[in-house]
Amino acid sequence: MSCKKVTTVDEYIKEAELLLRPLCERACDLLRSAAPGLREGIKWGAPNWSGNGNVCGLGAFSQHVDLFFFFGARLDDPRGLLEGTGKGMRHVKLFPGAEIDESGIRELTARAIALDAGSG
């Protein structure tokens, strides 16, 4: 990523490492379709989707992309997709060329939205 300040998710993707751009696009498309009612924007320099509060986001690193869930520690994750050990946040690591469990990510996103709405 360059040091350029981005203001939209699409700008963020354009600034990502060339190798990761298709993965960022796919991940963003997945989140957009799984969470059409959430507000999309940039927070802390990265894509963020929010409802009542922050729900999920995306981060492009040098070799992988993270989908992160702000209250992931509270999400049921029967497929074991979530990683992390902090008090709240968890993430799903995506790597170029690796299979993406889209249905599992959709399930996590739905659970995160329900939690944000107060019904989870």
Q: What is the CATH number of the domain that holds 104?
A: 3.90.1150.200
Q: Examine residue 1 and state whether it is found in any structural domain, yes or no.
A: no
Domain that holds residue 24: 9-117
Q: Examine residue 61 and state whether it is found in any structural domain, yes or no.
A: yes
Per-residue pLDDT at 119? 60
Per residue in 28-65, pLDDT tens?
999 999 999 999 999 999 999 999 999 999 999 999 99
Q: Examine residue 70 and state whether it is found in any structural domain, yes or no.
A: yes
CA 33 distance to own-chain centroid: 12
CA dist 39 and 48 (Å) reads: 8
Q: Examine residue 38 and state whether it is found in any structural domain, yes or no.
A: yes
Side chain identity, residue 119: S
Q: Examine residue 3 and state whether it is found in any structural domain, yes or no.
A: no
Averaged pLDDT for residues 12-17 = 95
Per-residue pLDDT at 120? 52
Domains identified in the chain, total number: 1
More confident site: 7 or 3:
7
Q: Examine residue 29 and state whether it is found in any structural domain, yes or no.
A: yes
Per-residue pLDDT at 36? 93
Per-residue pLDDT at 42? 98
Q: Is 53 helix (H, G, I), strand (E, B) or coil?
A: coil
Please state, in angstroms and as integers, the Cα–Cα distance from residue 106 to each residue in 4, 35, 94, 102, 103, following that order. 31, 8, 14, 6, 5
Per residue in 17-31, pLDDT tens?
999 999 999 999 999
